[in-house]
Amino acid sequence: MSPLSFSMALLSVCLLSFCTIAQNIGCPALQRRINGRCCNECPPGTYMKDFCSVDHQTICQPCEEGYYSPEHNTFDRCEQCSCQHGKCVSTNGTCLCPSGFLCSNSTCSVCEMNTCSLEEKPKRTEHPPGQYLYQCEPKCPEYQYFDSKEDTCKPKTQCITLGLVEKIPGNNTHDSICQKPHDNNSVYMILCFGFVLLSLTLFIFVSHTCRRNIRKQAANKKPVQAVQCKTSDFHLSKEESGFQLVIQDESKDSSSLSMEDVEKVSSFHNIAHPSQPQPGR
């Protein structure tokens, strides 16, 4: 910029300031002389809809959504916000993100979605300078839980201080659940009684089975009693008498004959002496 241009610009600023001061001479603060009258300036977040007159004071209108005004003014419109979502509000010229979104930088020109759950809150870090990063962390400390119905943190119940035992430990969203100490003992007693009853039933069944098997084995091992018989009880021929002598020689060591030997002798006797038919009457 040339020295002449710079001088002209500086002169213009000075003249504008002088005119503004001269225009507001005699008007209190936050008022401006318009058409010979001291009119109120519109506060931040509003713009001037109509000048003051004899009948009314300055009429101000709130800025529309997506627009803002940074200070007291007499402008007929608001400035457009630079926020990405176009849902900024006007609070002293500062743009804010809508509900459910977070500012990604110091000017809040870019918004990002809040991914934290109800029981969590976003923790902001700045890296690089002017740029924001977020991490979710619990809203409540470790010894408290978040009550979503009342939207507040409450202390977790300390079961041991109540003389109880902890059945289900508390977490970030639920309180601890306590129970009486003897509740578990009754469960253990029922389990032990059931185990003893089952063992006793099994023992009785096994004992009965073993006893029955022993009886069967003893019955199978019982010796067959030999039948005492004399050769004089039979009427033998000479041939049969010879066979009798053979039998007597073989059974010297035994005082009795077995049933099988008796059956053999009887069979031989029947062959040698078949039954004679009786004469007809």
In what helix (H) or strand (E) does residue 16 lie, and over which residues does it extend? helix 3-23
Give the distance, in angstroms, between the CA of residue 2 and the centroid of all CA atoms in the same chain: 74
Q: pLDDT (tens digit, 9 = 90+) per residue, 96-155?
A: 788 899 988 887 878 899 999 989 999 999 988 889 999 999 999 999 999 988 989 999
**Residue 56 resides in a domain:** yes
Backbone φ and ψ of 177, nearest 5°? -110, 125
pLDDT of 219 reads: 78
Q: What is the CATH number of the domain that holds 85?
A: 2.10.50.10
DSSP E strands in the chain: the ranges are 31-34, 37-40, 46-50, 59-62, 67-68, 79-80, 101-103, 111-113, 120-126, 132-138, 144-147, 152-155, 165-168, 177-179
Q: Which neighbouring-strand residues pair with 136?
A: 122
pLDDT of 99 reads: 86
pLDDT of 113 reads: 92
**Residue 262 resides in a domain:** no
Instruction: Let me know whether 164 and 190 are in one domain.
Output: yes
Which domain, by its residues, includes 154?
148-198
Handedness of CA 61, 62, 67, 68 (dihedral sign): positive
Domain count, the chain: 3
